[in-house]
């Protein structure tokens, strides 16, 4: 359901004279809206936001509006990600104070006498918020189909950005919508000026974050630092707006107790904003750390392969230890013999790790085979098979790994198909 408040009613409402009570009511609604926008973005794809606001606007009984605002805040806090519990707790405290200060406002003599005007003022504020949201939806596009009837909930739908950017962009939208509305309808020139300033900064922030090709062109560390930078900037702008509101309260001349409670609500909203930024930055850091660890493992894996060392092994007819079952090169010799048997399955030799005459012949044969494919003379360096060179060992391993790709290049002549045992000279 996508109801839009009637604009002709909106115009008529502005004809009414403002009183201290209606000004106070407008301030309360502003803070409710900010508290709501701050926390609802932590739910995700939330579709009921427009209905929540209309529940406040369309309530005929002015005395019930404070409770309804508190109910709507309680409703969204219950749906947020548990990671934002501290922020949710601050908003729940703000919700109670919003109800209490509203009830106190309408219990005063002026408040009792102005219930109808207060009701209209709240209706007017909600309509102005919706108008701001429509403008924001056009300025900060969420879809090419954005139009006049766009709903508040639509601003919170999932975008085609990665998680970190989407989290930040989702936070930017309601604050941008708020300052757009304030720039047009705030009674204070100070608030209007500050809202215009913040709106420009938020729009510039969004344009950078939503430029996917540019963002993806950044190095990972730069993307992380950009998100952290704008998380901090968002928090700073939100606090600046609330500081301007707090100062303006002192000028309006509201009841001292009401002003005090409104200031307390502002502090709670600030706390919620700060806690949200802490959690969002922590998530970014955790993703960064996870990515670093994955990259490190990947690089270490590459390094392990790249740094594998091969040492020259001499025939057992040169170094007797390489004909011993206890020789230090037993496993390396055996690995070569097994590779030979893979390459020349009809000319297998015994893979026992002993480097004798048959292994010498095998070395020459493999060196000629692989050297011929590479266009290099690998056999010469083996000194008739007396040396198993590092280059040959590396080449054999590489070719075995890719044997399926080169099997058509390997032509195996029919041999004696014998399984000779290694012997000394």
The verdict on residue 221 lying in a domain is yes
Global pTM reads: 0.58
The tally of domains found in the chain comes to: 2
Question: Do 49 and 93 share a domain, yes or no?
Answer: yes
User: Looking at the predicted structure, is the pLDDT value of residue 402 above 90?
Assistant: no
The verdict on residue 211 lying in a domain is yes
Q: Using CA of residue 95, residue 99, residue 104, residue 110, what is the dihedral sign?
A: positive
Last residue of a domain, one of 265, 284, 303: 284
CA distance 4 to 6: 6
The verdict on residue 420 lying in a domain is no
The verdict on residue 200 lying in a domain is yes
Q: What is the mean pLDDT of the chain?
A: 78
Question: Do 161 and 254 share a domain, yes or no?
Answer: yes
Question: Do 258 and 349 share a domain, yes or no?
Answer: no
Instruction: Write down the H helix ranges in 15-141.
Output: 20-40, 49-57, 65-77, 85-107, 109-113, 115-139
- The SS3 call for residue 304 is helix
- Which tens digit of pLDDT belongs to each residue from 70-108? 999 999 999 998 999 999 999 999 999 999 999 998 888
Most confident listed range (72-86, 196-210, 249-263, 394-408): 72-86
Q: Which residues pair with 128 in a beta bridge?
A: none
Question: Do 87 and 174 share a domain, yes or no?
Answer: yes
Question: Do 374 and 258 share a domain, yes or no?
Answer: no
Last residue of a domain, one of 264, 284, 304: 284
Of 247, 230, 250, 241, whose CA–CA distance to 194 is shortest? 241
* pLDDT score recorded for residue 322: 92
Number of residues that make up the chain: 425
* pLDDT score recorded for residue 307: 54
Question: Do 180 and 68 share a domain, yes or no?
Answer: yes
* pLDDT score recorded for residue 150: 33
The verdict on residue 266 lying in a domain is yes
Question: Do 317 and 278 share a domain, yes or no?
Answer: no
Last residue of a domain, one of 263, 284, 305: 284
The verdict on residue 308 lying in a domain is no
Tell me which residue range forms the domain holding 398: 313-409
The verdict on residue 301 lying in a domain is no
* pLDDT score recorded for residue 289: 75
* pLDDT score recorded for residue 253: 60
Question: Do 226 and 329 share a domain, yes or no?
Answer: no
Question: Do 106 and 145 share a domain, yes or no?
Answer: yes
End-to-end Cα separation, the chain, in angstroms: 94
Question: Do 341 and 197 share a domain, yes or no?
Answer: no
* pLDDT score recorded for residue 138: 65
- Which tens digit of pLDDT belongs to each residue from 304-348? 545 567 889 999 899 999 998 888 999 999 999 998 988 888 999
The verdict on residue 273 lying in a domain is yes
User: Looking at the predicted structure, is the pLDDT value of residue 63 above 70?
Assistant: yes
Question: Do 132 and 172 share a domain, yes or no?
Answer: yes
Question: Do 276 and 336 share a domain, yes or no?
Answer: no
- Which tens digit of pLDDT belongs to each residue from 9-59? 333 434 445 677 888 888 898 899 889 988 988 887 777 887 888 889 888
């Amino acid at each position: 359901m996508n109801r839009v408040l009637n604009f002709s009613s909106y115009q008529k409402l502005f004809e009414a004279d403002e009183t201290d009570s209606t000004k106070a009511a407008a301030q309360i609604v502003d803070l409710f809206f900010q508290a709501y926008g701050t926390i609802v973005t932590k739910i995700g794809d939330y579709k009921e936001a427009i209905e929540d606001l209309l529940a406040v606007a369309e309530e005929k009984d002015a005395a019930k509006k404070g409770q309804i605002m508190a109910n709507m805040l309680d409703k969204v806090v219950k749906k947020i990600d548990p990671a934002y519990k501290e922020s949710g707790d601050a908003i729940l405290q703000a919700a109670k104070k919003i109800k209490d200060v509203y009830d106190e406002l309408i219990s005063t003599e002026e408040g009792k006498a102005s219930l109808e005007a207060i009701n209209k003022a709240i209706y007017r504020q909600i309509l102005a918020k919706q108008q701001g949201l429509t403008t924001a939806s056009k300025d900060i596009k969420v879809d090419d189909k954005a139009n006049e009837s766009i709903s508040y909930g639509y601003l919170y739908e999932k975008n085609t950005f990665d998680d970190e950017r989407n989290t930040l962009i989702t936070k930017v939208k309601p604050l941008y919508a708020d300052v757009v509305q304030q720039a047009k309808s705030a009674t204070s020139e100070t608030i209007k000026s500050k809202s215009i300033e913040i709106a420009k900064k938020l729009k510039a922030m969004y344009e950078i974050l939503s430029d996917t090709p540019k963002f993806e062109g950044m190095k990972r560390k730069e993307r992380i630092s950009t998100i952290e930078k704008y998380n901090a900037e968002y928090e700073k702008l939100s606090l600046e707006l609330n500081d301007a509101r707090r100062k303006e309260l002192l000028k309006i001349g509201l009841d001292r107790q009401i002003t005090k409670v409104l200031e307390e609500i502002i502090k709670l909203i600030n706390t919620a904003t700060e806690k949200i930024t802490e959690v969002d930055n922590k998530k970014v850091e955790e993703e960064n750390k996870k990515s670093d660890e994955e990259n490190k493992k990947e690089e270490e894996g590459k390094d392990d392969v790249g740094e594998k060392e091969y040492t020259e092994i001499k025939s057992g007819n040169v170094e007797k230890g390489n004909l011993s079952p206890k020789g230090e090169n037993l496993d390396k010799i055996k690995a070569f013999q097994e590779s030979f048997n893979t390459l020349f399955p009809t000319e297998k030799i015994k893979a026992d790790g002993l480097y004798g005459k048959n292994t010498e012949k095998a070395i020459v044969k493999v060196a000629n085979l692989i050297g011929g494919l590479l266009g290099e003379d690998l056999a010469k360096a083996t000194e008739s098979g007396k040396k198993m060179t590092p280059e040959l060992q590396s080449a054999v391993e590489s070719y075995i790994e890719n044997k399926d790709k080169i099997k058509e290049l390997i032509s195996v002549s029919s041999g004696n198909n014998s399984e000779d045992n290694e012997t000394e000279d």
